[in-house]
Amino acid sequence: MSGSDPGPRSHCYRHPDRESYVLCQRCGRTICPECQTPAAVGFHCPECMRESRASAPRTRPTLLRTARRVRGSDGPVATYSLIGVTFAVFVLQLLVPGVTSDLAYRPVFTASEPWTLLTSVFTHSTSSFLHILFNMLSLWVFGRILEQALGRWRLLALYLLAGLGGSVAVLLLSPLGGVLGASGAIFGLMGAFFVIHRGMGGNGSQLLVIVGINLLIGFVVPGVSWQAHVGGLVVGALVGLVLVRTRNRRQRATQVLLLAAILVGLAATTVFGFARLVDLYS
């Protein structure tokens, strides 16, 4: 017996002419440096690496998983869509002169530009990024919670009705002024959240304090439309009351009718407010 030949295990199983003393950690076969793949412990041969990759669970990149959750039935699609549209309008305001003036709401132009009652909700001051930042942060916080509780379409209805309510309040309480920004709609979300939370047996005292502080800021800080805040808060609370009182599936038709009645009421109030404005200043 010769001591100079350590046997077949001293040569790579894929390259018999290459001597090696490194074994695959999984199958135990001898592998040369070309066939070695570093593993957590030791090295693996090419066949074991292929088997390991084939049996490993397939995972998607984090961004793709997040996008899939957003598109899914439980994702806050409406909230993220409102935020996306608002930022898109903001970019348009920065790039195209005159867009801000065209979309902002001015009560004296209610008859000729009625769409601005709603477009103003998606329009923000371009002189300070904090205006849109704070509003969208609040929408991100309250919108996701309410969308999960109410559903996409109810959240959209709540947001738009509250925003419209803020514009109508400006027409009634500050007819010679104007407004832009999502603050009225945001206050509507807070008002609805409080009513729904209380209606389900929760304690909303902390939220009430937050709403009170923000309302106070609107009264004491120049350039802030407290009228839109109050209008959005009242309409949002009213919508929240409708939703919590008609949450039974069998009351869906009643819920739709009551929300439509709120919209009709806001439209009638707009007509009344503009007629009053014309009478006062004609």
Residues serving a catalytic function are: 183, 229
Instruction: Report d(CA 229, CA 211) in Å as an integer.
Output: 10
Torsion of CA 19, 21, 25, 31, to 10 degrees: -10
For every residue of 211-270, DSSP letters joined together read: HHHHHHHHHHSTT--HHHHHHHHHHHHHHHHHHHHT-SGGGHHHHHHHHHHHHHHHHHHH
Instruction: Report d(CA 196, CA 257) in Å as an integer.
Output: 19
Look at residue 179 and give its three-state secondary structure. Answer: strand
Kindly tell me the burial class for residue 41, based on how many C-beta atoms sit within 10 Å of its own C-beta (0-12, 13-18, 19 or more): exposed
Q: How many residues in the chain?
A: 282
Residue 129 sits at φ, ψ, to 5 deg, of -70, -20
Report the Cα–Cα distance between both ends of the chain, in Å, rounded: 121
- Please enumerate in sequence order all residues whose Cβ is within 8 A of that of 230, keeping only pairs 6 or more positions apart, or say none: 169, 173, 187, 215
- Please enumerate in sequence order all residues whose Cβ is within 8 A of that of 254, keeping only pairs 6 or more positions apart, or say none: 246
The structure tokens listed for 102 are 């065209």
The structure tokens listed for 27 are 């199958």
